[in-house]
Amino acid sequence: MGSSSLKRKERKKSREIKQLKLALKQGKILATSSDAPNRPGILQTVTLKLMSDDRIRVQVEHYYPGDWDRILGETENYFNDLNTALEWIETYCQLQLFQFHDPSDKSINKD
């Protein structure tokens, strides 16, 4: 990959992080759902929330498809900054920052 394409990729990631930070500062809880890594047949929902002490809470819930009311496991982790939280999410949940959205924004969730 050329240096100009790497720079474009970094600029795009920087813009996406700024958008996430703005949404969190506005009090929004951001979420995404996907297959749970290394757990066939299990789904995960990951949420991000800015706490009153400026830490980022990452909540992960695991559940069976079609039975999301019955949570198989739930974890909460707190991070001092969004970048650290996103690194943890990429490593342990295998999700990328662009996958997060505001679930209350109906313009995003059109079927």
Domain coverage including residue 14: 3-99
Whether residue 106 is contained in a domain is answered as no
For the chain, what is the largest distance between any 2 Cα atoms, rounded to a whole number of angstroms?
A: 47
At 42-71, the pLDDT tens digits run 999 999 999 999 999 999 999 998 876 788
Q: Mean pLDDT across the chain, nearest whole number?
A: 87
Per-residue pLDDT band for 108 (boundaries 50, 70, 90) equals very low
**In a 3-state reduction of DSSP, which class is residue 29?**
coil
Which spans in the chain are helix H? Answer: 3-25, 82-88
Domain count within the chain: 1
Whether residue 11 is contained in a domain is answered as yes
Whether residue 27 is contained in a domain is answered as yes
Q: Which amino acid is at 98?
A: F
**In this structure, what CATH number is given to the domain that contains residue 81?**
3.30.1300
The percent of residues in the chain predicted with pLDDT above 70, rounded, is 93
68's CB contacts (< 8 A; 6+ apart) are 43, 45
Whether residue 110 is contained in a domain is answered as no
pLDDT at 102: 87
